[in-house]
């Protein structure tokens, strides 16, 4: 499902070179739930961005869903992303559209047949327990609800892989547990999940395979 071979990433800020990842290798099998953890600035977000080809590695190779990402054309990158759901710390919902419209918008622009959109959107909303808030605007949602709406948007296309970048970072404990519960349900439905969090207590509580990053290096792979 995911394979990283000796991946390094260096950002160049003018003449200064800032290493974000150094010589990282690991594999994730289909159906796994992997927690990526480490302190802020450890390289978690960079690693996730490499998985959906928002970044390209300076060295090494990233393979996702059977594709070596360095060789993909622009349209192939788009096709890859249609198979991946991504959730961020800030839900990034479009403020001028309702929860339902946010999901329908993504389905429309990725070519879902019109007749299937409503059914798929409500199926996703049911999965995250948000059917009753379909007509609410993002500004009317709690942070937990907004994050669940973002999850619904990410899974509405029934992707094989869900990447979640600090999805509980802005949430209190109760809301975080609620969102993690939803992600667990999504994983139980057969979706491979890679979740990044800097909250080590939360990572430990997940009792899943955990990859620990420190200063851009993979220092632990356990569970």
Where on the chain is the footprint of other proteins (CB under 8 A)?
52, 54, 74-75, 77-84, 86, 92, 94-95, 105-106, 108-111, 157
Cβ closer to other proteins: 37 or 159? 159
Q: Which stretch of DSSP H or E encloses residue 151?
A: helix 143-155
Query: Residue 85's Cα: distance from chain center in Å?
Result: 6
Tokens at residue 57, please? 């590695």
Contacts of 57 (CB under 8 A, 6+ apart): 7, 8, 9, 21, 50, 70
CB of 119 to other proteins, least distance (A): 17
CB of 24 to other proteins, least distance (A): 22
CB of 86 to other proteins, least distance (A): 6
For the chain, list the strands marked E by DSSP.
2-13, 16-28, 33-37, 59-64, 67-68, 84-87, 161-165, 192-197, 209-214, 217-222
Cβ closer to other proteins: 17 or 92? 92
Cβ closer to other proteins: 79 or 177? 79
50: how many CB neighbours lie within 10 A of its CB? 24
CB of 111 to other proteins, least distance (A): 7
147: how many CB neighbours lie within 10 A of its CB? 30
Cβ closer to other proteins: 26 or 105? 105
CB of 97 to other proteins, least distance (A): 9
Nearest to 84 by CA among 143, 126, 28, 21: 28
CB of 39 to other proteins, least distance (A): 26
Cβ closer to other proteins: 94 or 204? 94
Query: Residue 82's Cα: distance from chain center in Å?
Result: 13
Cβ closer to other proteins: 130 or 150? 150
């Amino acid at each position: 499902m995911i394979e990283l071979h000796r991946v390094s990433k260096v950002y160049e800020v003018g003449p200064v070179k800032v290493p974000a990842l150094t010589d990282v290798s690991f594999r994730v099998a289909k159906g796994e739930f992997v927690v990526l953890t480490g302190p802020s600035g450890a390289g978690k977000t960079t690693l996730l961005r490499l998985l959906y080809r928002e970044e390209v590695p300076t060295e090494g190779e990233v393979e996702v869903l059977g594709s070596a990402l360095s060789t993909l054309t622009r349209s192939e990158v788009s096709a890859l992303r249609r198979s991946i759901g991504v959730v961020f710390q800030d839900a990034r919902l479009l403020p001028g559209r309702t929860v339902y419209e946010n999901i329908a918008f993504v389905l429309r622009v990725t070519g879902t047949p019109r007749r299937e959109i409503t059914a798929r959107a409500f199926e996703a909303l049911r999965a995250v327990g948000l059917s009753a808030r379909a007509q609410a605007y993002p500004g009317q949602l709690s942070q937990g609800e907004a994050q669940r709406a973002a999850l619904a948007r990410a899974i509405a296309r029934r992707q094989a892989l869900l990447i979640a970048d600090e999805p509980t970072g802005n949430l209190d404990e109760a809301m975080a547990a609620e969102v993690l519960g939803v992600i667990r349900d999504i994983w139980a439905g057969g979706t491979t999940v890679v979740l990044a969090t800097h909250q080590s207590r939360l990572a430990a509580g997940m009792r899943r395979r955990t990859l620990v990053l420190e200063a851009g290096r993979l220092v632990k792979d356990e569970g």
